[in-house]
Structure 1
Amino acid sequence: MHNHGDFPAESLFLIPAVAAVAAYWAGARSPRAGTWPYRRLVSFLAGVLSVLLTVLEPLAGWAHTDFGALALSHVLAGMAGPLLLVLSHPVELALRTLDTVPAARLRRSVRSPAARFLTHPGTTTVLVAAGMWAMFHTPVLTAMQQSMPVHWLVTAYLTATGCLFTAAVLNCGPSPHGLRLRAGALAATAALHAGSAVWLLAFPPAGTGSTSAGALVLLVSGLAVQTVLALLLLGQQRGTARLLPQVRGA
């Protein structure tokens, strides 16, 4: 909460958010982008908004006192937002519209060994699981509720790992991976997510009060996002949708 007349520091997050939207809009309007689907622009806007809501008032403030709001923040920043951002194809757009030199640098970056490692389904599953465990089963939970900077750092981690995981499941990284591996990663993460929600129902963390509503938010909304991701994965396998062109072939 802020005193009257104080400048809310979290408002500074509007600057990179607006810059990202402006850059994406400019790219989508560029002749180099071709006929860029309008739905991708909508997806990008929705993804940025989903993440931004978790660091701005009132949701950020509610998350410090209400576990349900904290659980909703987790789903928005770590699951729904990343799914929308990945489906907006930002890397493909950048590779199409950047000048030759920066486009070549970006292409080398996304094809680098580090990028291959970070977009491997196994790696992303571990990163997501680690973040999930830390957020709900370690002192990080209390630190998030007591410190806004910690809340921001956790949000950044959730968003970054969520984007990597979504990209890995939808096979849009620099290396191809088989359906079984990607489906296994999704299934494992869904099981961990549901298990965390059930655990919170049975064993509420000390100092958080009632966690029942938050655990249900975590379970239901998380399952909804994971179901959408599973349907997209199934659509790829059946050849009914070409969702994300591979970076390696861009």
Structure 2
Amino acid sequence: MHHDAHPVHGSAGPGLPEILPPALAVLACAGGYLHLVHQARSRNPARGWNPWRTAGFLTGLVLLAVALLPPVASFAHGDFRGHMVQHMLIGMYAPLALVLGAPVTLLLRTLPAPRARRLTSLLHSRPARFLAHPAVALLLSTGSLAVLYFTPLYNATLAHPGWHWLLHAHFLLSGCLFAHAIAGPDPAPSRPGVRTRLVYLGCAIAVHATVSQLMYGGFGTHIHAPIPEVRGGAEIMYYGGDIAELLLAAALVATWRPERRPHPTPGTPHVPGPARA
């Protein structure tokens, strides 16, 4: 049920103490990534680093800054439609661009060999393989929408700034996890085949559409905001989610590489292997 009241935190908007930490964090991430790019090019000038990867990561940081700083942050502070724009940027658009920057691959190229081996072992560990599976990433990113908007959790985050920042962190990390599981160029030992990943992406599209339609109709949602704001936010989720997921599908096609099968040696009879799923 919708409640025709403005969000608990009012409409004053974030001040300098709230703006400075995210701005510094974004700048630090940009500086760290560019430093690693410089190291990668210095160590292996012939191989270098793909500038499109750099452009993707920096684009993701720009989208993150747009979401966390005024005027979008001020809009989100007092209007549910602004919250949804912020959610789309932090949870879907910025993660895709960041993941396409292949930060783990860049880190592996620049770390000393012993540390790179430890990082590789961590990526192959059971907990990492579990988290990187598309089903888990889908549950953490898209599945959490029902918990957020169909329980009192969303309104609670408005009353507690710390919870609000935890919500941003959840959107960002779970969005990165899902983008990585579906179309990330970084190594992912537990990543299934393309057809399976497309199924998970289709599930995400269906969940986003269902949640946004229920939100638009006011069925079971717990959002303390005027009905026009809630309906506007639902439309932003519906259309903005579709565009983001189409971009993710395009990234999946662009980053997919067919598996190369070994050619049989001349004179050796070909023995067919088991059919691929």
Q: Same fold (TM over 0.5)?
A: yes
Q: 2:68 aligns with which of 49, 55, 72?
A: 55
Aligned residues: 237
Indicate the SS of the match to 2:189: coil
What is the alpha-carbon distance in structure 1 between the residues aligned to residue 231 and residue 217 of structure 2?
Answer: 9
| Counterpart check, 1:229 vs 2:263 | no
Report if the CA contact (8 A) 2:93-2:244 is conserved. Answer: yes
Q: 2:210: which partner in 1?
A: 195
Q: 2:146 aligns with which of 125, 130, 133?
A: 133
Q: 2:161: which partner in 1?
A: 148
Report if the CA contact (8 A) 2:13-2:78 is conserved. Answer: no
- Which TM-score applies when normalising by structure 2? 0.78
The C-alpha deviation readout for 1:42-74, integer Å capped at 9, x for no partner, is 211111222233333332232132111111111
What is the alpha-carbon distance in structure 2 between the residues aligned to residue 212 and residue 136 of structure 1?
Answer: 13
The C-alpha deviation readout for 1:134-163, integer Å capped at 9, x for no partner, is 232222221233333222101101111111
Matches within 5 A, 1:90-109: 90-109=103-122
Report if the CA contact (8 A) 1:115-1:174 is conserved. Answer: no
Distance 1:89 1:182, change over 3 A: same
Q: Which amino acid aligns with 2:80?
A: F
| Counterpart check, 1:112 vs 2:113 | no
Distance 1:236 1:99, change over 3 A: closer
What is the alpha-carbon distance in structure 1 between the residues aligned to residue 70 and residue 159 of structure 2?
Answer: 15
CA RMSD, 1 decimal: 2.1
What is the alpha-carbon distance in structure 1 between the residues aligned to residue 74 and residue 144 of structure 2?
Answer: 21
Matches within 5 A, 1:136-215: 136-170=149-183, 172-203=187-218, 205-209=222-226, 210=228, 211-215=230-234
| Counterpart check, 1:43 vs 2:56 | yes
Q: CA deviation at 1:193?
A: 0.6
Q: 2:87: which partner in 1?
A: 74
Greater relative contact order (CA < 8 Å, ≥ 6 in sequence): 2
Q: 1:32 aligns with which of 40, 43, 63?
A: 43
The C-alpha deviation readout for 1:22-54, integer Å capped at 9, x for no partner, is 111011122236321222112111112222333
Q: Which amino acid aligns with 1:175?
A: S
Q: 4+ residue runs of structure 1 moved beyond 6 angstroms? A: none
Structure with the higher fraction of residues in helix conformation:
1
Q: CA deviation at 1:9?
A: 3.2
What is the alpha-carbon distance in structure 1 between the residues aligned to residue 43 and residue 190 of structure 2?
Answer: 26
Which stretches in structure 1 are left out of the alignment for 5+ residues?
240-250
What is the alpha-carbon distance in structure 1 between the residues aligned to residue 148 and residue 19 of structure 2?
Answer: 20
Aligned-residue sequence identity (percent) comes to 30
What is the alpha-carbon distance in structure 1 between the residues aligned to residue 74 and residue 198 of structure 2?
Answer: 36
Q: 2:17: which partner in 1?
A: 8
- Which TM-score applies when normalising by structure 1? 0.86
Moved more, 147-156 or 230-239: 230-239
Q: CA deviation at 1:238?
A: 7.2
Q: CA deviation at 1:225?
A: 0.8
Report if the CA contact (8 A) 2:149-2:223 is conserved. Answer: no
Which stretches in structure 2 are left out of the alignment for 5+ residues?
1-11, 259-277
Q: 2:235 aligns with which of 200, 210, 216?
A: 216
